[in-house]
């Protein structure tokens, strides 16, 4: 179980995360306010008279000083109210929920696929370095890292949706409607997100494992004791490499958010990335602000989770030595 030192570590990390999330919200607010032309103008269209614009600005509270508006927003945000969309006039939080679920499902599937493939492949590659499988996995992952995810997504569409017609090219089937339909509609987007991740994890894990197997003293000791190569690889080397992998997975999450924006656009998925892109294009600042905050919180929480896993896995941190 977690001892108190690790709990304290989590507490400390949470406290450190607060100014970061605040900073992100201030930065977003500031950047969005730099944008020429505000939401009132956007809503009323180009032929609105200055009087009309002014009236709507007052109605929406846009004429108040920036600091006041920020604090007002922050006050609501702390209570879980992220404001009302300027375009749909609906509370943002109502829309966020279902969209987060869609994006979460895609990203979750992508993680499952990428880790589920990367771990066994790197273990096999590290078990027999410089052999066939190792070489192939290195070539694939090196090449794969140079392929833009939107290019890869389009190739997938071309091959599996247009040529073979195994999966739908675009659209989303809710889980409540049909489970297989849901998985089929998410398969290509999840693979498109998973492939670069797979390449990244494989490259990292394979070289980390090989480095350890060839150089570390405790590996030598374990081998000298007569422990089998698989056992050494899994019980000794992999356990150590898992730390690096966890950090990388945690750090990846913010890049993944960028990926969801593009992938959801290509596959027309009603996720949070699509919501953000629409909001950016309609200059619905409230929605943009809400999405960005959600992203920032997810990023920070993911890193926190990585730290927490560290504490669970590493006795040195768990017992608070050092």
Q: Which residues bind other proteins (CB under 8 A)?
A: 19-21, 23-24, 27-28, 31-32, 34-36, 130, 142-143, 145-148, 150-151, 154-155, 157-158, 162, 210-212, 214-217, 254-255, 257-258, 261-262, 265-266, 276-277, 280-281, 283, 288, 291-292, 295-296, 299-300
Q: d(Cα 247, Cα 1) in Å, to the nearest integer?
A: 21
Q: Give least dist CB 95 to other proteins, A.
A: 17
Closest distance to other proteins from the beta carbon of 51 (Å): 26
CB of 152 to other proteins, least distance (A): 9
* Cβ distance to other proteins smaller for residue 124 or 150: 150
Shorter beta-carbon distance to other proteins: residue 15 or 183: 15
For residue 90, the minimal CB distance to other proteins (Å) is: 21
Closest CA to 269 of 187, 198, 203: 187
Q: Write the CA distances from 279 to 31, 73, 74, 112, 146, integer angstroms.
A: 15, 18, 20, 30, 30
Tell me if residue 226 falls in helix, strand or coil. Answer: coil
Tell me whether residue 87 or residue 183 sits nearer to other proteins (CB atom): 87
Q: What is the secondary structure of 242-258 as a DSSP string?
A: HHHHHHHHHHHHHHHHH
User: Which residue number, 49 or 130, has a Cβ lying nearer to other proteins?
Assistant: 130
CB of 73 to other proteins, least distance (A): 16
Of 161 and 183, nearer to other proteins (C-beta) is 161
Q: How far apart are CA 133 and CA 34, in angstroms?
A: 52
Q: Helices 285-313 and 4-34 sit at what angle, rounded to 10 degrees?
A: 160
Q: Nearest-CA neighbor of 175 among 111, 117, 108?
A: 108
State the DSSP H helix or E strand holding residue 99, giving kind and residue range, or none if neither: helix 92-127
CB of 300 to other proteins, least distance (A): 6
* Contact in structure between 283 and 39 (CB atoms under 8 Å): yes
Between residues 87 and 262, which has the closer beta carbon with respect to other proteins? 262
Residue closer to other proteins, measured from CB, 153 or 190: 153
Coil, strand, or helix at residue 321?
coil
Least separation in angstroms between residue 306's CB and other proteins is 14
Question: How far is it, in rounded angstroms, from Cα 93 to Cα 17?
Answer: 22
Question: Taking a C-beta distance cutoff of 8 angstroms, is the pair 134, 128 a contact?
Answer: yes
């Amino acid at each position: 179980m977690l001892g108190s030192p690790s709990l304290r570590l989590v507490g400390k990390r949470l406290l450190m995360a607060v100014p970061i999330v605040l900073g992100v919200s201030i930065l977003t607010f500031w950047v969005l306010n730099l944008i020429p032309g505000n939401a009132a103008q956007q809503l009323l269209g180009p032929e609105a008279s200055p009087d009309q614009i002014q009236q709507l600005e007052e109605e929406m509270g846009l004429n108040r000083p920036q600091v006041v508006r920020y604090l007002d927003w922050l006050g609501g945000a702390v209570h879980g109210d992220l404001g009302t969309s300027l375009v749909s006039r609906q509370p943002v939080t109502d829309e966020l929920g279902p969209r987060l679920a869609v994006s979460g499902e895609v990203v979750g599937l992508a993680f499952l696929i990428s880790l589920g493939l990367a771990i066994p492949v790197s273990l096999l590659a590290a078990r027999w370095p410089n052999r066939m499988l190792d070489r192939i996995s290195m070539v694939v992952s090196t090449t794969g890292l140079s392929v833009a995810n939107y290019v890869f997504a389009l190739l997938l569409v071309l091959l599996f949706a247009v040529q073979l017609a195994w999966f739908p090219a675009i659209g989303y089937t809710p889980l409540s409607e049909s489970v297989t339909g849901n998985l089929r509609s998410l398969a290509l987007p999840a693979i498109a997100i998973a492939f670069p991740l797979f390449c990244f994890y494989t490259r990292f894990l394979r070289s980390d494992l090989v480095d350890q197997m060839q150089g570390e003293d405790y590996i030598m000791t374990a081998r000298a004791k007569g422990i089998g190569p698989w056992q050494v690889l899994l019980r000794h080397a992999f356990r150590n490499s898992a730390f690096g992998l966890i950090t990388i997975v945690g750090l990846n999450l913010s890049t993944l958010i960028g990926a969801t924006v593009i992938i959801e656009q290509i596959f027309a998925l009603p996720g949070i990335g699509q919501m953000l892109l629409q909001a950016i294009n309609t200059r619905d600042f409230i929605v943009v602000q809400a999405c960005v905050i959600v992203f920032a919180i997810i990023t920070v929480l993911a890193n926190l989770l990585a730290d927490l896993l560290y504490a669970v896995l590493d006795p040195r941190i768990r017992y608070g030595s050092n």
